[in-house]
Structure 1
Amino acid sequence: MKKILFVASEGVPFIKTGGLADVVGSLPKCIDKEYFDVRVILPKYTCMKQEMKDKLSYVTHFYMDFHWKNEYVGVLYAEVDGVKYYFIDNEMFFNGFKPYSDNALFEIEKFAFFSKAALSILPVIDFRPDVIHCHDWQTGLIPVYLKERFQGSDFYRGIKSVMTIHNLKFQGKWGIREVQDITGLPDYYFTADKLEAYKDANLLKGGIVFADAITTVSATYAEEIKTAFYGEGLDGLLRARSKDLRGIVNGIDTDVFNPETDKNIEFNYNAMNFRKEKIRNKRALQAELGLEQDDKKFMIGIVSRLTDQKGFDLISYVMDELCQSNVQIVVLGTGEERYENMFRHFDWKYNNKVSANIYYSDALSHKIYAASDAFLMPSLFEPCGLSQLMSLRYGTVPIVRETGGLKDTVEPYNEYESTGTGFSFTNYNAHEMLGTIYYAEKIYYEKKREWNKIVDRAMAADFSWNVSAKKYQEMYDWLIG
């Protein structure tokens, strides 16, 4: 039995701020239990929902030498969906109303503590993993500590580590003096070939340098991050380690996102009956949001963080023009104030065409996936993206820019061969995006049978976690040898 340990700063169903939590919650469930014993370590945040806290049971506690003092390390345990979870408890680091604070130095101290504690509890819980699978900069110190502090003991010797980059933009950077003081790592580690980057200490860089393998969340993004444009200053290092870098696209939880059983939507449907049933969700959403009730209106859904990364500068540039055509646009999400206000403005200006919902609601997101005809996602960069996978599952045709995971998961429609699951454009250009939306609209209105065939293919695409889990298993096997 091969032993795999996931360490991450968040994971469904316990705590979630983004897609990372979906991966950490879903992937361990799909790894083959016959060959792999998979466990997960998370922080015990005080902001976790009470029903989740009630599942935890106390295991033990001890004191660990960290940042010139003895810090309390509590260990709790829960089992959910057949996966064993351990939680590291320390109220000084993990209290607060949300998992992350805006104080960057405190975040670095907190996750340096978490990384060291995650390694320190292993003998205590009597679990010696063959591979530790680390996620994002918050766990970047684990591969470093594994090679430095813990190599001296037989228990840790030979444990392999994997670093998964979910979004290269976030790296955990601060001044070398402070980071050295917090981590207790010697000078030797703060050189340009290790943790130092542009005169700062960089925790993600440490993880990439010292991990035995590196993955990211789509094959295209794995290529893109080796270039200066997408590489966020680490492209040289990623090129140097390219033989150890692979891209494995994320999956979605096909039980949660299933139009046939989804409790959040008014009318359930499947690939056989969507032609009759899907439209009823559109009517229900038009009524709920006060949009003009018209079956034939081309409804475009957007569920997203409203940030530059997601391509909202393109949308704002052509929004007036887009609203002149026969469309309805339904937006859900929060983010940068200028984009929140931009959508509020267009909701006011084109009230029966645009519905701006500037908050987040899980239930409404499902309704938008089910009701819309198309889903717009013109990202500047997109490591993997999950929204396009959800929209495919609901037979809502994605319109995307060809970058990262969007390029890997949405096959562009080809009218001559009658292939494809969505529409895409190449350049980060507002009018190229607009032209692609118009093209999709034209197919929708003028070639309804072709449109329905696109939906057929979209709903048949398999982006369940099982496909990705097999690729991770191959990598674990390769690492363990």
Structure 2
Amino acid sequence: MLVLIRPSKVSSMMSLQRILYVASEIAPFLETSLVSNCVRKLPEAMQSKQIDVRIVVPKFGTINDRMNRLHEVLRLSGSIVSVNDVDHSISVKVSTIPNTRLQVYFVDNNDLFGSRRSVFKDQNNNFFEDNDLRMIFFCMGVMETLKKLEWEADIVHCHDWITALIPIFWKKLYQNHPLFTKAKLVFTLYNNTFSHHFPFLTERIEKIGIAREDAVLLTPGGFRNIIQFAMDYSDLVLRGEILDAVEFEDLFKSNELPWVQNDDQYNEGYFAVYKSLLLPV
């Protein structure tokens, strides 16, 4: 299901040639929510239309390198991201989705991702206290990976809360880099909510260069704040499913689009949405 929240305004015509998908997970490498299925289908559908597609996800420790045939891309690895005054190195691995031509890039850091044998919760089912640091690192890692790829997107489609900082990084931290000047940012919401709050998230975002007046919008660092933040800096916001969690109540006013099933019509629906972003208003 697609629900339009806010249309983009653009001043000139652009052709749709390149789409970047950034997500929390993708099948078959990791499947914990609806995100994995959506992000698995959409890129292949767009690639079938001769669109150049790139996919970037975190390399969670639950993803086995050998079983999934992941290997490190040395030319993309080695960048350093400073999060909360601690330097973290970026390792980028790649694999191909079986029976497709789709390559997936995995952003990894052993301390924050690779060494943990779970996704967002520890063995006692407690939300990791540093999931905010992991979010910051992953989103910065995506930006740095794109710089090394020297690849410019027309559409950047972010899925789920861990990608929520991509829009502001794109428009505020990297706005002067030539690779990050033209893309339109799409953010898709899912019911992957949590009750944890990150009391230092605003401060940590400020430290990496986000202005105080922008960073304060993340206070007090809850799921709702993070989602609202992503919505404010995206050109288009979509729903990946019916949003029934209390955290979404009164968050936005929406204009419903028709239900779109997971078939050719579903793919055409997304394609039309992407194209509409690039049309002059």
C-alpha distance in 1 between matches for 2:17 and 2:196: 31
Which structure features the higher share of helix residues?
1
SS of corresponding position for 1:202: helix
Q: Does 1:106 align with 2:123?
A: no
- Hey, what does 1:48 align to over in structure 2? 63
CA shift in 2, pair 1:197/1:475, >3 Å = farther
Contact kept, 8 Å, 1:205 with 1:234, in 2: the verdict is no
Counterpart in 2 of 1:232?
246
For 1:96, what is the secondary structure of its paired residue? coil
Counterpart in 1 of 2:214? 189
Q: 1:160 to 1:105 in 2, by over 3 A?
A: farther
Structure 2 partner of 1:77: 94
**Alpha carbons 1:10, 1:21 under 8 Å: kept:** yes
Amino acid at match of 1:83: L
Q: 1:474/1:142 Cα in 2 relative to 1: closer, same or farther (>3 Å)?
A: same
Q: Structure 1 length as normaliser, TM-score?
A: 0.48
Q: CA shift at 1:86, angstroms?
A: 0.9
Higher relative contact order (CA 8 A, sep 6+): 2
Aligned to 1:19: 34
- Letter matched to residue 188 of structure 1: E
Give the match for residue 158 of structure 2: 134
The answer as to whether partners of 1:74 and 1:88 remain within 8 angstroms in 2 is yes
Could you tell me which amino acid in structure 2 is paired with residue 473 of structure 1? F
Query: Which amino acid is 1:2 matched to?
Result: Q
Amino acid at match of 1:149: L
Structure 2: distance between partners of 1:471 and 1:131: 15
Bigger mean CA offset, 198-207 vs 47-56? 198-207
Residues 201 and 12 of structure 1: is their aligned pair in 2 closer, same or farther, counting only changes over 3 Å?
closer
C-alpha distance in 1, partners of 2:234/2:165?
A: 10
| TM-score between both structures, scaled by the size of structure 2 | 0.79
Q: State the AA in 2 paired with 1:470.
A: E
Amino acid at match of 1:232: V
**Shift in Å, 1:52:** 3.7
Deviations 1:220-250 (A, max 9, x none): x3xxx5xxxx4635444411xx36x757646
> Matched residues in 1 for 2:144 and 2:202: separation?
19
> How far, CA to CA, are the matches of 1:118 and 1:99 in structure 2?
18
After superposition, what is the alpha-carbon deviation per residue over 1:314-340, rounded to whole angstroms, capped at 9, x for unaligned?
Answer: xxxxxxxxxxxxxxxxxxxxxxxxxxx
Q: Is the 8 A contact 2:198 2:220 kept in 1?
A: no
Which of 117, 120, 128 is matched with 1:97 structurally? 117
Q: Match for residue 6 of structure 2?
A: none
Cα displacement (A) at 1:200: 8.5
Q: Tell me, yes or no, if the aligned pair for 1:161 and 1:212 is still in contact at 8 Å.
A: yes
Aligned residues of 1:131 and 1:161 also touching (Cα < 8 A): yes
The residue aligned with 2:225 is: 202
Aligned partners of 2:72 and 2:94 also within 8 Å: yes
1:366-445 matches, within 5 Å, as none
1:77–1:172 Cα change, 3 Å: farther
**Deviations for 1:333-363, whole angstroms, at most 9, x for unmatched residues?**
xxxxxxxxxxxxxxxxxxxxxxxxxxxxxxx
Gaps of 5+ in 1: 252-463
Contact 1:4/1:131 (8 A) holds in 2 = yes
Distance in structure 2 (CA, Å) of the matches to 1:210 and 1:142: 9
Number of residue pairs aligned between Structure 1 and Structure 2 = 252
TM-aligned CA deviation for residue 122 of structure 1: 0.5
Structure 1 residues 172, 79: CA separation in 2 closer, same or farther (over 3 Å shift)?
A: farther
Alpha-carbon RMSD = 2.7
> Per the alignment, in what secondary structure is the counterpart of residue 161 of structure 1?
strand
